[in-house]
Structure 1
Amino acid sequence: MFKKCNTPGALLLFCCLVVNLSVNAQSAGRQYSLGFYQSVADTNNYHSSQRDYTVQPTFDLPQGDTTRKQSWLYRKLFREHLLQVNEQDYTFYASILPDLLIGHDNKNGSTWLNTRGVIAGGTIGKNLSFRAEFYENQGKFPGYVDAYGRQTGIVPGQGEWKSYSNGKAFDFASSSALIDYKAGKYFDFQLGYDKNFIGDGYRSMLLSDAAFNYPFLKIIANIGHIQYTTMWAQFIDREYPEASYGTGYRKKWGVFNYLDWNISKKVSLGLFEAVIWQDSDSSGKRGFDASYINPIVFLRPVEFSVGSPDNALMGINLKYAPSKNSTFYGQFILDEFVFKEIFSGNGWWANKFGGQAGFRSNNLFKVKNLNFLTEVNAARPYTYSQRTTLNNYGHYSQSLAHPMGANFVEWVNIADYRYKRWFLRGQITVAKYGLDSAGINYGKNIFESYNTRAENFGNHIGQGLKTNFLYLQGTIAFLLNPKYNLRIECSVTNRQEKNSLAKNNEAIFQIGLRSSFRQLYYDF
C-alpha cells in the first residue's frame, strides 16, 4: 500500500550478523497505567530513564476476579492471550489487537478508526525473547490531525498514508519487532524495528518515541550501579529529494551513547550524546561511517575529526527520588553553541538548546493507583535543525525529540487513577510557540534549513507568529483483558490554537474498543 519500499537493507544485513538485547532488571517493580509507562523510583538498581520494550506488560486485576470458576471462553476474553503456551524451554503468546473508534469533531464531522492488529511473542530458553506487532488501519481523523497528515504525508508516529474513502480518510499500516538476547549477567543485545525513549517524563528532549519506527542495533552493559547503552540506527528522510528512483527515500544514520549512573537510591545522572549523518550523497559515497563503530568512543571528537559534516548533540538526564513513589526529574539538550554568545544575551541563532523540568508521583496522597505528572519542556529556535534535513534530528517527517519541534515552551499536566477494572485519565497541556509566517523561517520547523533563518541575533522562544495552545482531554476506560490492555474507552478532547491570524477550537468526542500498549501522541 506504500508508494515506496523503505526496507533498510544495508542495516538489516549488518544487524543479522550481530545479536541484540535489553535489561532484565528493568522489568522489576514496573507499574503500568493508561498515562504512565514506567515506575519512578530506583529500586534494586532499576534504571528508569530507558523504557524497556522487551517486557510484555500486563495490568494486575482485583483478586476477586481469580476466584470464580473460569471457562475457556472467559479466560480468552478477559484474562489470557488468544494463544498462550508455557513450556519449560520456551513460551509463546499471540493475540488480535482491535482499535475501533467512532466519534465526532466539530471541525471535521464524524471521525472513526478501524485498526486490525496482531501481536506475537515469546521466549526461547532463559536468555532469548522476541516480539512482533502488525497494524492495518483506515481512519478519518479530527480536523487538526487530518490537516497535519495532508501537509506532511504521514499519520503521527505511524508512517505514510494513502487515500481512502474518496480522499476523506487515510489508509496506513505499521509494524514493529524486537529480538532480545541476554548475554550473561552484564550484557544485553537488542535487534529491533521499533522506537526508543530516554527520560523519566512524559516527553523527552533527548530521544522520544513520538516518531515512526526505525531499525536499530542496541548494546546495553550493566556494571554495578552503571548502565551504558550504545545504539546504531537508520532513519528515513522524506523531505530531501531522492537520489534516484531506484533508491527511494534518502536515508541517514544515527549513533547514540547513553550512560546512566544510579549515584544512590535517590539520585541518578545520565549522560547522552548522539551524531546524525547522511547515508550518502548524490554520487552514492560515504554510507555507514566506520568511525562510529566503537561503542565506547566519545562521539564529539570523532565527529570533529572527520571534518565535522555531521550533527552532534549532547545532553544530560537527572532524577531525584525523595520517596519510593515520587520523583523530580529534568533534561538538558545542547545542539550547538558558542560559549561567549550564551552569556552575551544577544540571542544568537546558533545557541541551540532545550530543557525539561518535571515532577511525577505514583500513589499520590497515599491513594493506591493515583498517579500525577507535571512537567515543563522548552527548546530555543532552530534547535534540532541543520543545514539540510539529511543531518537534522528527525525521522520520517517527525522530530526524534519533542513533537512540537523547536521554538516553544510547554507545560504538561497528567493525572490518572485505577479502581479495579476502571481507569480515569485527565490531561491539561498549555504551550506557546512561534510559527513561520510570510515564508520566513523563525525556527519551529526543524525540517527547514537553519541557513534560511530570519535573523542572526535577537532570537528568542516564541518569535514569529506568536501562538497560544491549549489541549484538554478526559478519558474513562473499562479494562476487559489485562494481557494486551483490551478496554472499552471513551474520551472527550478540546484543542485550542490561537494567534493574531486565526483561532481554531476543536471539540472531539470518541468511543470505542481499544487494545495494546502503544504510545501514540496526538497532543500537538
Structure 2
Amino acid sequence: MHQKLHVSALLTICCLAASHYVQAQSAGRQYSLGFYQPMSDSSGYHSSLRDYMVQPNFELPGDTARKRSWWHRKLFREHLLEFSGDDYDFYASFLPDFQVGHSNRNGTTWLNTRGVVAGGRIGKNLTFYTEFYENQGKFPLYVDAYARATKVIPGQGQWKTYNTDAFDFAYASALINYKAGKHFNFQLGYDKNFVGDGYRSMLLSDVPFNYPFLKIVANVGRIQYTTMWAQFIDMRYPKASYDNGYRKKWGVFNYLDWNVSKKISVGLFGGVIWQDSDSSGKRGFDVSYLNPIIFLRPVEFSVGSADNAVMGLNAKYTFSRNSALYGQFLLDEFKLKEVTNGDGWWGNKFGGQLGFRSNNIFKVNRLNILTEVNAARPFTYSQRTTLNNYGHYNQPLAHPMGANFVEWVNIADYQYRRWFLRGQIMLANYGQDTTGTNFGKDIFKSYETRTLEYGNSIGQGLSTNLLYLQGTIAFLLNPKNNMRLEVSVIRRQERNDAWRSNELIFQVGLRSSFRQLYYDF
C-alpha cells in the first residue's frame, strides 16, 4: 500500500490534462523475424499499444503486370484462400514451421509445427482472425531445462512428453475487433497484449501464453484510453478441485496514451491482479473493477483488499523522423522513507527501461537498430502467493527474466528485396537462488520467504552473467504469411561462481507466421 495512493492521485491529475488521437495505421503483429518497428512520429497514431488486428505489409518488387500461374501466386504472393466482396473479405493459409538443427549440449534439435490461420472482415466495422498450431519438438538444452522446470514451452503453454526426449504441445489464438463509430473499438480475444515502444515491456508484454480478455479502446483527439479485463492461470497453487482445473486469477488494466506533440508521447498505466477465490470462499470477478474509466489503485485501497496493484509510465521522444528515445517506469510497491534511507529495503519494488531505436539509419532504407536497457529490483512483481503475483501460466506478465536483473539488449535488422538479415547481442546480470534462499528473482516465490530484509540490490544472490548472441539470414517466399527459408546461429553463455554453461546452436528451417516467441533468456 504505502505511498501508492498518493502517486495514483498525481497520475489522475496528469490524465485530466490530456486530449487527441488518430488511430494507428502502421502498427502490426510482430514478426518472428526482426523486431517491431513503428514509425517514430507521434502525431498520427499511438505506437505503444500494438494493434494485433493489423498485419504489416512487405514492399516487394512487383511483377503483378505479368501473368502468373495459380501455384506461383499461392506460394509467393497470396494466401491459400482469398475471397473478397463489397462487404466482406476472407483469407486462410497453412502455416508451417519446420526446423532442424544441432546443439553442442543436446544433439539434434527439431521442430515440426503445422499451423493454420483464417481471418477477414464482415461489413466495415467487424474484423477477426484465428490461428491454431499443433507442435512437436526437441529444443536446445537451456530451453529444454526451462520447459521441464516450468511445465510450459516459452509463450506456448503446457506440454506432454513425445518420444521420451521431446515435447508435444498445441495452442490457439483468436481475436474479434468491432469498431463502434469514430471513437471506440471493442476487442474480444484469446491472445497476448503488449504495452510499450521497446523490444521488452516492463508494464505488460507478450512473453507468456495466451489468455482470454475483453478490451475497450477509446480515441478522442490526441488521447487513446484503453481498459482491459483478463483472466489468468496459476499452475502452481493447489487446485481447488479436479473438476475446476488450475486456479484462476483476474486482471484489469487501464492505459492512457497522450500524444502531447509530434515529438512527445506519454502513457500512464495501471493494473490490478486478484485471485479468483480466497479462504473465505469463491470471490470470482470483482465488480468493483468493472468501471472502465476509474483509476484502479484507489479502488483497490478502498476495499481493503490484498490485491496486487501496479502502476507505470511509458514515454517516447522522437528527435527526428526515424529515431526515438523511449522509456518505462514500473512501480510495484515502495515506502518513501525506505527509499530515501537507501538501506535496500526489500519492499522497494520497481523497475525501468531506457532505449533508443532508429529506422533507416545512416539513410539506408530498411536498416533498423535498437539498443535498450531493462532492470527490475528484487521481488518486483512478486506477492505473498502466486494467486496474486504478476504472472500467468508459469511465466511473468512483463519481462521474461522476472526480477532482480539488469539487461542490455541490442538488435539490428536489414531487408533487401526478399532477403532479411538480423543480429542480436544481449548481456544480462541477475541473482539466482541457492538452496533454501529467496533473493527475489523468481516472481513465483512468496516474498514472505525472502532471505534479506535490508541490503537488497540488483544481482544479489548467486550473481550470474548471461551472454546471448544470435545471427539470422532469411529469404522471404510469401509476404502474406511470412513464409521464409531461414538459417540461424545462436551462442548462449551463462556463468557464475558455481558453474558455467556454453551452448552453440545451429538451425535451418522453412518457417511461417507472425508469432513473436522469446527464447533469449
TM-score tier by shorter-chain length is: over 0.9
Check whether the contact 1:415–1:425 (CA below 8 A) recurs between aligned residues. Answer: yes
Q: How far 1:269 moved relative to its partner?
A: 0.2
SS of the residue 1:188 aligns to: strand
Check whether the contact 2:235–2:246 (CA below 8 A) recurs between aligned residues. Answer: yes
The whole-number CA distance in structure 2 between the counterparts of 1:434 and 1:42 is 38
Q: How far 1:43 moved relative to its partner?
A: 5.2
Name the structure 1 match of 2:10.
none
Q: How far 1:284 moved relative to its partner?
A: 3.9
The AA in structure 2 aligned to 1:36 is F
Name the structure 2 match of 1:77.
75
SS of the residue 2:182 aligns to: coil
- Is the counterpart of residue 143 in structure 1 residue 141 in structure 2? yes
Q: How does 1:310-389 map to 2 (within 5 A)?
A: 310-389=307-386
* Structure 1 residues 432-478: Cα deviation after superposition (integer angstroms, max 9, x where no partner): 00000122000000000000001110000000000000000000000
Query: For the structure 1 residues 283 and 244, does the alpha-carbon distance in structure 2 shift closer, same or farther, using more than 3 Å as the test?
Result: farther
Check whether the contact 1:42–1:48 (CA below 8 A) recurs between aligned residues. Answer: no
Q: TM-score, normalised by structure 1?
A: 0.94
Name the structure 1 match of 2:88.
90
The whole-number CA distance in structure 2 between the counterparts of 1:318 and 1:32 is 20
Check whether the contact 2:28–2:50 (CA below 8 A) recurs between aligned residues. Answer: no
The AA in structure 2 aligned to 1:87 is G
- Is the counterpart of residue 276 in structure 1 residue 264 in structure 2? no
The whole-number CA distance in structure 2 between the counterparts of 1:402 and 1:457 is 24
Check whether the contact 1:29–1:43 (CA below 8 A) recurs between aligned residues. Answer: no
- The counterpart of 2:282, out of the listed 274, 282, 285, is 285
The whole-number CA distance in structure 1 between the counterparts of 2:279 and 2:159 is 27
SS of the residue 2:24 aligns to: helix
Check whether the contact 1:409–1:432 (CA below 8 A) recurs between aligned residues. Answer: yes
Name the structure 2 match of 1:417.
414
Check whether the contact 1:57–1:483 (CA below 8 A) recurs between aligned residues. Answer: no
- Is the counterpart of residue 233 in structure 1 residue 230 in structure 2? yes
* Structure 1 residues 33-89: Cα deviation after superposition (integer angstroms, max 9, x where no partner): 6322241323552100011101133312123x4343211111100000000011111
Q: How does 1:471-486 map to 2 (within 5 A)?
A: 471-486=468-483
Query: For the structure 1 residues 153 and 30, does the alpha-carbon distance in structure 2 shift closer, same or farther, using more than 3 Å as the test?
Result: closer
Check whether the contact 1:31–1:39 (CA below 8 A) recurs between aligned residues. Answer: no
Check whether the contact 2:53–2:175 (CA below 8 A) recurs between aligned residues. Answer: yes
The whole-number CA distance in structure 2 between the counterparts of 1:104 and 1:296 is 52
Name the structure 2 match of 1:203.
200
The whole-number CA distance in structure 2 between the counterparts of 1:52 and 1:194 is 12
Check whether the contact 1:40–1:327 (CA below 8 A) recurs between aligned residues. Answer: no
Check whether the contact 1:494–1:505 (CA below 8 A) recurs between aligned residues. Answer: yes
Check whether the contact 1:203–1:402 (CA below 8 A) recurs between aligned residues. Answer: yes
- Is the counterpart of residue 489 in structure 1 residue 460 in structure 2? no
Q: How far 1:390 moved relative to its partner?
A: 0.2
Q: How far 1:186 moved relative to its partner?
A: 0.3
The whole-number CA distance in structure 2 between the counterparts of 1:30 and 1:206 is 19
Q: How does 1:160-175 map to 2 (within 5 A)?
A: 160-165=158-163, 167-175=164-172
Check whether the contact 2:29–2:52 (CA below 8 A) recurs between aligned residues. Answer: no
Structure 1 stretches of 4+ moved >3 Å: 28-33, 65-68
The AA in structure 2 aligned to 1:74 is H
The whole-number CA distance in structure 1 between the counterparts of 2:463 and 2:393 is 27
Name the structure 2 match of 1:112.
110
The whole-number CA distance in structure 2 between the counterparts of 1:105 and 1:369 is 32
Name the structure 2 match of 1:242.
239
Check whether the contact 2:29–2:51 (CA below 8 A) recurs between aligned residues. Answer: no
Check whether the contact 2:473–2:487 (CA below 8 A) recurs between aligned residues. Answer: yes
Check whether the contact 1:40–1:361 (CA below 8 A) recurs between aligned residues. Answer: no
SS of the residue 1:304 aligns to: helix
SS of the residue 1:246 aligns to: coil
Q: How far 1:320 moved relative to its partner?
A: 0.3
- The counterpart of 1:124, out of the listed 122, 125, 129, is 122
The AA in structure 2 aligned to 1:449 is S
* Number of matched pairs: 500
* Structure 1 residues 143-165: Cα deviation after superposition (integer angstroms, max 9, x where no partner): 00000001110000000000001
* Structure 1 residues 299-353: Cα deviation after superposition (integer angstroms, max 9, x where no partner): 1010011113100000000000011111100000000000111111100000000
Q: TM-score, normalised by structure 2?
A: 0.94
- Is the counterpart of residue 154 in structure 1 residue 152 in structure 2? yes
Check whether the contact 2:492–2:502 (CA below 8 A) recurs between aligned residues. Answer: yes
Q: State the Cα RMSD in Å.
A: 1.3
- The counterpart of 2:433, out of the listed 436, 439, 447, is 436
* Structure 1 residues 164-213: Cα deviation after superposition (integer angstroms, max 9, x where no partner): 01x20000001000000000000000000000000000000000000000
Q: How does 1:56-75 map to 2 (within 5 A)?
A: 56-63=55-62, 65-75=63-73
The whole-number CA distance in structure 1 between the counterparts of 2:280 and 2:486 is 52
SS of the residue 1:257 aligns to: strand
Query: For the structure 1 residues 25 and 38, does the alpha-carbon distance in structure 2 shift closer, same or farther, using more than 3 Å as the test?
Result: farther
Q: How far 1:221 moved relative to its partner?
A: 0.3
The AA in structure 1 aligned to 2:207 is A
Name the structure 1 match of 2:101.
103
The whole-number CA distance in structure 1 between the counterparts of 2:483 and 2:243 is 42
Check whether the contact 1:40–1:200 (CA below 8 A) recurs between aligned residues. Answer: no
Check whether the contact 2:28–2:54 (CA below 8 A) recurs between aligned residues. Answer: no
Query: For the structure 1 residues 76 and 118, does the alpha-carbon distance in structure 2 shift closer, same or farther, using more than 3 Å as the test?
Result: same
Q: Which runs of 5+ in 1 are unaligned?
A: 1-22
Check whether the contact 2:28–2:52 (CA below 8 A) recurs between aligned residues. Answer: no
The AA in structure 2 aligned to 1:405 is G
Q: How far 1:29 moved relative to its partner?
A: 7.2
